[in-house]
Amino acid sequence: MLGIYFSGTGNTKYCIEMFVKELDAAAKCISIEDAKVLDEIYKSDFIVLAYPIYFSNLPKIVRDFILQNKPKFMGKKVFIIATMGLFSGDGAGCSARLLVRCGAEIVGGLHLKMPDCIGDEKALKKTIEQNKVIVKQAYIKIKKSANNLKNGHATQEGIGLLYHIAGLFGQRLWFYCKTKNYSDKLKINTEKCIGCGVCMQLCPMKNLSIVNRRAVQNGRCTMCYRCISNCPQQAITLLGKNLYEQCKIEKYI
C-alpha cells in the first residue's frame, strides 16, 4: 500500500497519513511533488490518493499529474480521499473518472470536511476552536472509513452519477474557468514583500521568483495557498484583497 497526495496547507497530508496509518502502520505516504513518487507508485498495487478540492474540482496540479503519468496507474487499485471546506459533490469522482481511463480500479472514495485554507475571504473564516472540532470530527470519520475498508466495505463518497450531478451544479459549472488553467491572479503587495524567498521555495509550481528583492508571480498558480499561509510578511493574496488568517494544519491539531 502507498499513500500519495497533494497538500497546500497540510490538511490533506494530515488526513492521508491518519488514514494509511489505520490501514497499515508500515505503509508510507509521499507527495506527488517528490522525485521518487513514480517509482513508489510502480512498486505498489494499492494506492490511496488524496487531494484538496477547489470549486468542486481537482487542483490543476493533480489533474496534470494523473494525465501525465497515465501508464503508472494501469492495473492499480485506488482509494480516493478528497478534503474540502464545503460539500463538493463528486470531489473523489473527479479523479476517479480520470483514473478509470488510465486503467485503474477505483475501490472507493472518502470526503472529509477540513478547515478552509482560503485565508483572504473573511466570510469563510472560523475560529481556531471551531477548526479544532472539525479536525477531530474528520479523524473519527477517517477511522471509521479505514475500518470499513479493512472489512471489505469501502466508503463510496463522491463516486457515482448522483454525486457527479451534485458536483456539477454545486460549483463546478459556475467556476470551471477558475480551475481549468493555472491562475495568474496571485497578488503580491510590493510594500510588504521583503524578497525573503520563502514563497519561492515553497511553491509547488515554481510560480514565484525574486526580482529586484521582491517576489514576482509567473502566471502558474495552482491555488494551494501555501505561499499565502507561510509568507512572514503576509504580503500575498489570491481570491480576496486582505489576509484574515494564515491557515496551517498545525494550528488545529
- Written out in words, the top-level CATH class of the domain with range 2-179 is alpha beta
CB neighbour list of residue 245: distance below 8 Å, 6 or more residues apart: 119, 125
Asked whether residue 174 carries a pLDDT value surpassing 80, the answer given is: no
Length of the chain: 253
Q: Which CATH architecture best describes the domain 187-247?
A: 2-Layer Sandwich (3.30)
CA nearest neighbour of 212 among 186, 182, 188: 188
pLDDT digits (tens, 9 = 90+) for 195-237: 999 999 999 999 999 999 999 999 999 999 999 999 999 999 9
DSSP 170: I
CA 78 to chain centre: 16
The predicted-structure confidence for 8-47, as pLDDT tens digits, reads as follows: 999 999 999 999 999 999 999 999 999 999 999 999 999 9
Tell me the domain boundaries of the chain: 2-179, 187-247
> Across residues 84-109, what is the average pLDDT?
94
